[in-house]
């Protein structure tokens, strides 16, 4: 498995050792030490500025959106502010779509999970549109949300898809909770959590019940003339697309079809975008078995399990956490606990040591949840 040694050096090696490394005969050691010292100095200065501004000491309880225009450069450093919180609409549709999508996602997390932005401390939501030329991607870089315009052949503007925005900001939520490692099963869980959150944000915005939702991810990012339906289907993994331009959707829906991939760029870090189909389908099965809205019981069980998980959680560990949360919230004999166990069973993931001795009385908040 490839490791990122620079990251370890930044975290652990104290400055006096780094300064000693600068005198090494090995040029790679000298270069690594210099880079680490420069990066550390930069971060220290950044933190100092933030502290002087009082940002670290206070928790902000309101939306703070800013949308920047990269003007087709592949850089966020020189992007211009095009719309900030409460500001007037822009003549640029991408700016407004990004602004609205960030707002809907913030409102979803605040209203449904009482979470104050990505870090639960009111973190700014910065979106960068028109990144690159015909750039076919959207991603979360750890602090910012980047949107490409798409090439206009296969993909169109990525700001036009609320589930994609919810997916990318979902990576931020995971980063600030379990911080699931982006490799193999924990990486597939990371991807799956983002699909679950992205789909819930869209369903919440559309006020859809679980049974009437499309459970597709990225259905809005294809050009109108293209046959692609979506990037992924949580309802039927492996069926989102099948055409000569895109190939065939490789997602499995069951552990018997788990795809073993190398933990490399070529191998999608162990198939993180492939095997996410398994926990995706488990969530779909749970939400539809419980009925009502996905963000009520099912969403709370999933997010509760994420908060209990550690960075190396695999499917079985996460499944056990979902069961623990369901039993704790609703009781061991509840429909919710049985449905969680049933959903994981249907995708071939066993739950280890179910805590059957817990209380049978569901708390008032869980009992009183509404259904549509």
Partner 1 sequence: MRICLKAFGGIAATVRRDAIVLDDTQLDAANAARLRRLVSSVRVNPPRSLEIHPDEMSYAVAVDDGKDHYELRGQEASLTPDFRELIQMVREAR
Positions annotated as catalytic residues are 168, 273
Q: What are phi and psi of 192, to 5 degrees?
A: -65, -40
Half-sphere exposure of 75 (CA within 13 A, CB side): 5
Where is 147: in which H helix or E strand? strand 145-147
How far is C-alpha 125 from the chain's CA centre?
14
> Which positions lie near partner 1, rule CB under 8 A?
4, 6-7, 10, 35, 39, 74, 133, 136-142, 154-155, 158, 164, 167-168, 171, 174, 182, 190-191, 194, 218, 221, 231-232, 241, 245-247, 249-251, 265-266, 268-269, 272-274
Task: Name 343's Cβ contacts closer than 8 Å, sequence gap at least 6.
Answer: 282, 283, 285, 286, 289
Which has the closest alpha carbon to 186: 19, 321, 299? 321
Q: Of the two residues 135 and 330, which places its CB atom closer to partner 1 in the complex? A: 135
Least spacing, CB of residue 281 vs partner 1, in Å: 15
Rounded to an integer, what distance in angstroms lies between the CA atom of residue 300 and that of residue 303?
A: 5
Q: Of the two residues 242 and 310, which places its CB atom closer to partner 1 in the complex? A: 242
Q: Of the two residues 126 and 249, which places its CB atom closer to partner 1 in the complex? A: 249
- 157 three-state secondary structure: coil
Whether 365 and 286 have beta carbons less than 8 Å apart is answered as no
Whether 271 and 188 have beta carbons less than 8 Å apart is answered as yes
Q: Of the two residues 86 and 247, which places its CB atom closer to partner 1 in the complex? A: 247
Whether 146 and 130 have beta carbons less than 8 Å apart is answered as no
Which has the closest alpha carbon to 213: 288, 159, 274, 278? 288
Where is 233: in which H helix or E strand? strand 232-233
Least spacing, CB of residue 232 vs partner 1, in Å: 8
Least spacing, CB of residue 105 vs partner 1, in Å: 15
Pairing between β-strand 247-248 and β-strand 242-243 as defined by DSSP bridges: antiparallel
Least spacing, CB of residue 47 vs partner 1, in Å: 17
Q: Of the two residues 141 and 361, which places its CB atom closer to partner 1 in the complex? A: 141
Q: Of the two residues 209 and 246, which places its CB atom closer to partner 1 in the complex? A: 246
Least spacing, CB of residue 180 vs partner 1, in Å: 9
Rounded to an integer, what distance in angstroms lies between the CA atom of residue 270 and that of residue 260?
A: 7
Least spacing, CB of residue 27 vs partner 1, in Å: 12
């Amino acid at each position: 498995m490839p490791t990122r040694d620079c990251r370890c050096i930044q975290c652990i090696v104290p400055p006096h050792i780094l300064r000693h490394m600068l005198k090494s005969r090995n040029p790679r050691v000298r270069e690594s030490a210099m880079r680490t010292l420069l990066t550390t100095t930069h971060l220290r200065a950044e933190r100092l500025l933030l502290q002087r501004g009082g940002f670290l000491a206070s928790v902000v309880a309101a939306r703070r959106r800013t949308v920047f225009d990269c003007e087709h450069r592949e850089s966020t450093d020189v992007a211009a502010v095009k719309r900030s919180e409460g500001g007037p609409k822009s003549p640029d549709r991408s700016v407004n779509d990004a602004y609205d999508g960030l707002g809907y996602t913030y409102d979803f997390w605040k209203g449904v999970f009482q979470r104050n932005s990505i870090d639960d401390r009111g973190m700014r939501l910065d979106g960068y549109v028109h990144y690159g030329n015909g750039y076919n991607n959207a991603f979360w870089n750890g602090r910012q949300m980047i949107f490409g315009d798409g090439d206009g052949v296969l993909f169109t503007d990525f700001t036009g898809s609320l589930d994609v925005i919810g997916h990318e900001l979902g990576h931020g939520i995971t980063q600030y909770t379990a911080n699931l490692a982006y490799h193999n099963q924990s990486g597939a869980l990371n991807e799956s959590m983002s699909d679950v959150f992205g789909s819930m944000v869209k369903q919440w915005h559309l006020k859809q019940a679980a049974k009437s939702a499309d459970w597709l991810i990225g259905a809005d990012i294809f050009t109108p003339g293209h046959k692609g339906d979506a990037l992924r289907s949580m309802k039927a993994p492996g069926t989102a697309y099948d055409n000569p331009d895109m190939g065939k959707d490789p997602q499995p829906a069951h552990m018997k079809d788990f795809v073993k991939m190398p933990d490399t760029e070529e191998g999608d870090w162990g198939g993180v975008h492939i095997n996410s189909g398994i926990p995706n389908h488990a969530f779909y099965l749970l939400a539809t078995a419980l009925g009502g809205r996905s963000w009520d019981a099912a969403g709370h069980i999933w997010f509760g399990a994420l908060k209990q998980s550690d960075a190396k959680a695999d499917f079985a560990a996460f499944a056990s956490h979902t069961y623990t949360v369901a039993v704790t919230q609703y009781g061991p004999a509840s429909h919710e606990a049985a449905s969680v166990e049933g959903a994981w069973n249907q995708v071939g993931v066993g739950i280890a040591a179910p805590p059957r001795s817990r209380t049978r009385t569901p708390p008032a908040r869980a009992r009183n949840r509404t259904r549509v």
